[in-house]
Structure 1
Amino acid sequence: MDIVTSLLTGLPLTLAGVLVIWMGRRGARGTLKRNPYMGVRTAATMRSDAAWIAAHRAVATPTVIGGAGILAAGLIALFLPSSAGVFVILGGAVWGLAWLVGTIGIATRAANAASDTPGHTGTLI
């Protein structure tokens, strides 16, 4: 890979990895608010604030692990501009994507459990 390709590949992956890690950490703290842009957005997780928070707390660790893989792929793309780096980049990106896709079922189960809790009102106040 030449330097331009390294930058065009590495910078977006690095930024995406940082964003995913940030999102996972916010989810762990319960400070990632329900929104239409980021997070696990299924019918179950969007049902209520309590479901959203429970879901994102449940998937915080796998989200950070996935983000770390994406971040690593981006950094490798920036600092290892060779054809061998392409395979490492793809591996890191696939690693991250696999962890993130794997969170969907976990988040949905946690959201459903939060929604089924007796006395649940649907919002956190």
Structure 2
Amino acid sequence: MASAPLPSPDGMQHRRAAPRLRVCIPGKLILLGGEYDCALEDVSLSGARVICDAAMKKGGQGILQCPPLEVLFTTRWVDKNTAGLEFEEEVSLGTIRMLRWHNDRYRNQNEQELRDMVRDWVECKGR
């Protein structure tokens, strides 16, 4: 399991085999029960953490779609509406770089929309 924490000499498990990139971008989970919107919180070559309203179970399988990423996964842990996914095959570093680019673009677009909304609100209040 490539993304599982590696045991340290003293028995504590703190490090992961693959470093994770923090992101916040929309995606989709395809499960046996249907398709569900999700938010990708972090991603590595071997796994991801997502937030989703779908009822996910440890050991469940599905497909994570977050272009350019489309990968089969197994759910390794679930905590309320957050789940840790292990990819069936490692994704390429190029895919991770593209996700980073999409994350930055998505964040910048949303920040600009928020600034425009606040500006419009302030201008209406000033009249």
TM-score (norm 1): 0.33
Judging by fraction of residues, say which structure has more helix: 1
TM-score (norm 2): 0.32
